[in-house]
Structure 1
Amino acid sequence: MNMQNNPILVLASSSVTRRALLDRLGLPYQIDKPDIDERVHEHEAADAACLRLAREKARAVAERHPGSVVIGSDQLVSCNGRIMGKPHDMPRATEQLRFMSGKAVYFHVSVAVIDAHGALQEHSETVTAQLRILSDSEIQHYLNREQPFGSAGSMKSEGLGTALLDSMQSDDPTAILGLPLIATLRLLRAAGINPLS
């Protein structure tokens, strides 16, 4: 195949979890960290911010890899209208989990794919999770074990974070992990990459 029919795939992320998800597809790919400003704008809704950041990640990396297919993805967590960012430390993580205890929590996830010709396609979805009512001892045990200080909302869903949940509603079981593979595959096929071909 020539390069036009078999473009290089680039993941615009340094996330270990996103890499593990993309590894499931058995496709060769490169990694390039986008290094963008990931702050949410004032008064920006979580779903809109999430899609904007996925786009910006894909575009930043696509500029450095012309002729490649680039995947950008982002995830934001919200609860009661409040965006729950990465806590970075134990006190903030404790406060986040106390705030979310017993409430519905929304995992907004977006993926943007730029094809070899520069065309952008994108997808967004929201996973709804119902948190259990958590005791302080459960919160501390979870935080001590998982150390989820780099995870939005202190929710390390790929690990023990599942123990915080009562239920979850999603069209794609991988969406809560930050890269919805069903939608990503649909966008990749449109961009000329199909792991089954």
Structure 2
Amino acid sequence: MLDAAGVAYQAVPAAIDERALEAGLAGAAPGALAEALAVAKAAAVAALHPDALVLGSDSLVVCAGRRFDKPRSREEAGAHLRFFSGKVMELHSAAALVRGGGCVWRHASIARLHVRTLSEPFIEHYLALEWPEIGHTVGAFRIEGPGVQLFSAIEGDHFTVLGMPLLPLLGALRTEGMLIA
């Protein structure tokens, strides 16, 4: 998304224990949890690059009160899809900017994805097309590919569905002087 928007950046993976952070935030609302993970990722990288403006982001899915992580196997992806079938999936995407040890901006947004009733033949066909690529995605779908066929309706910002609240982020980057206003 940043490439397409013309934003220059350097990708640096954050070395954080997401599960430990989540355990410490047990009971937090999904948007708050996604935001806390985004801040923690940015802060971890900013500690190594104190003069840089560092972006962290995170997304998570909640469906029928249950939180889902990225599927670890094709079988688990199938189980997720069977659970999502006929329900509304909430996708929480967050981003944060950290500079000099402090968070200068954070934002979380939500999209509601109405999953149509999925037949077993469709699920198997979909997994044959999309596995293992969807193993890297929360929700077991790529909206820019065959994953769009999972849904009957989508409420929310397109970029949130792609995994980052891009338009608010671009505004924050302009405010921070990183993009031409």
Give TM-score, length-normalised by structure 1: 0.83
Q: Greater helix share, 1 or 2?
A: 2
* Whole-angstrom distance in 2 between the partners of 1:45 and 1:192: 31
Task: Give how far 1:60 is off.
Answer: 0.4
Runs of 5+ in structure 1 lacking a partner? 1-20
Misfit runs of 4+, over 6 Å: none
Q: 1:10-159, aligned counterparts within 5 Å?
A: 21-39=1-19, 40-41=22-23, 42-115=26-99, 118-147=102-131, 148-159=134-145
1:190 maps onto 2:180 in alignment: no
Number of aligned residue pairs = 175
Aligned residue identity for 1:146: E
CA-based RMSD of the aligned residues comes to 1.6
Corresponding residue for residue 167 of structure 1: 153
Give TM-score, length-normalised by structure 2: 0.90
* Structure 1 residues 117 and 92: alpha-carbon distance in aligned structure 2, compared to 1, 3 A threshold: closer
* Whole-angstrom distance in 2 between the partners of 1:158 and 1:141: 17
Runs of 5+ in structure 2 lacking a partner? none
* Whole-angstrom distance in 2 between the partners of 1:37 and 1:143: 29
Question: Retained in 1: the 8 A contact 2:60–2:138?
Answer: yes
Task: Give how far 1:67 is off.
Answer: 1.4
Corresponding residue for residue 10 of structure 1: none
Identity of aligned residues (%): 37
* Whole-angstrom distance in 2 between the partners of 1:38 and 1:188: 26
